[in-house]
Structure formats: structure tokens, C-alpha cells
Structure 1
Amino acid sequence: EILFFGICIAVQIVGFFLAKDSPVQTLKIFSFLGVFAMLIGLFSSGNIALFAFLSGGLFCSIMWPCIFTLSIAGLGKYTSQGSAFLIMMILGGAIIPPVQGKLADVFSIQSSYWIAVVCFGYLLFYAFRTKTVLDKQGVTY
């Protein structure tokens, strides 16, 4: 079991170096890994599913700084207001868990992780879309 977390940490370190200090690349890599881990968890059982679902939290911990950085990039003099709104709008922690809980009640705990696949998938979409928007604004990331 400790071996699995060692592997997860090694994957995170490799992913970090592959991203080359680019928030967009980091978000792409770790949101993809999040989708991949959730799918492994959904289509497996036992310890493999357990550790696949747990690894999603590790991937989230690396993505948050990238999400924040990319969200306020290019705001100029409105950066402080943008970051304040971003902090106030962190609703995922308030909305997603009850939705996942309801799915777990109706279907199963394991099936409820489809919501996590959707969330990680949206972050992957956001990483690709943000790069396009920032390029149009002349902001390089």
C-alpha cells in the first residue's frame, strides 16, 4: 500500500518536470491523470480502485495553484478583484460532495465517482481552452 503512494508521488514528480514550469501543461497533465485514475477506480475493484480514487486527491493538490494562476492571468488592474471572486466562488467543495453522495445513495459509492470523471474532464477542457484565450490576449503561459 505504501508502494502505491510512492508510485503516485513519483508520477507527480515526473509530471511536474514534464510540465516545464507551465501552469497550462501542469493542468493538462494532472487533469488527464485525474480522469485516468477515476476511470481505473470505476472499472476495477479492491485496493486498486481504492488507491486510484485516493490518487485523485493528490492530483488535485497540484492542480489548484495552476487553476488559480490561470484564472487571474491577464486581468491586469483587476487581478485583486478577480482573485477575491475566485476565492468566493469555490463552490465545488459545497456542491459536488452532496451530488456525489446522492449518486452513491441511488447507485453505488463506486459509481458515484463518475462525477469526479466529469469534474477532471472539465479541468482538462479548461486547460486547453484557457491556453487559447490567453494566447489571444497576448498572455503567455
Structure 2
Amino acid sequence: MGTQIDIKTVRETGRSGFVAVLVALMTILVAGCTGMGPVHVDPDRLPGVYRNDGTGAEIRLDTDGRFSAVGFSRDDVGIAGENALLDDFGGTWDPTPSNFVYLEPDPVGMSDIQLWTVSSKEVYLQPDVDGPITLTLLKAKES
């Protein structure tokens, strides 16, 4: 006598196996996506000097909520026009409960800048959230 195969059992086993593989793939994809992007960083760990050695651009986040910036081009901060260096500027910084810090420049006419946090040691500028990262800065000195 031959072995009888229950087709219904085979289909259910195939579906549950497919679901298990699908869940595993989604877990891997989600884990991979969240590990590369900005993350929320404790605001107390952010003060310090962040620098891009290639361009010389530097942001200093002071513990009193002030910041100063030197060596940035207009493209770095998303200002239309030539890729000329901006004058040194400063203002206040305000961490969000999310994954970026608002830089609120003092000069009239300059809009707020978002400084995205990768860690307390690395931040980047991405003026257009749908556009490319314009500049990555690494912490050069604690404040």
C-alpha cells in the first residue's frame, strides 16, 4: 500500500513556512534600515565641536544652548545660490525628541538648519530630507 498524502496539510505547512520566511526577511530589512540612519541622542551628550576635516567646516554646540558655525558653504546648509562660503554664523540650538537638532541662526533671513544625529560622535546636514546628505561632521572635542 502506498502512503497517502493529505493535500490540505501540505498547503498549510507551505503557507506557514512562507510566512516564517517572510517575517524573518522583514526583521532583517527593518534591522538593517534602522542601523544606518539618524538616531535620537541624549542632548546632554551633544555639546562639543563637530568638524569635517575635508572642508574645514565646524559647528560648536555649547552647553548653554548656543552654537557657532564656521567654514560652511551655501550648499552645505541648503541656501540657493553659489557654492560660496558663508560668513561665520551662530545662534541657538534646540534638540528635538526625535533624531535631529534645530540650529536657529541669528542672522535675519537665514532659515533654521537641521543637524541630524547619527550618534553623540557623528552628525550630518541634510537640508532637504529627500535629498542627499551635504556634509558629515565628526566630534573633534567635547564641550
Flag whether TM exceeds 0.5 (same fold): no
Normalising by structure 2, what TM-score?
0.22
Query: Which structure has the greater CA radius of gyration?
Result: 2
Name the structure, 1 or 2, with higher relative contact order (CA <8 Å, separation 6+).
Answer: 1
Q: Which has the higher strand share?
A: 2
TM-score by length of 1: 0.22
Higher helix share: 1
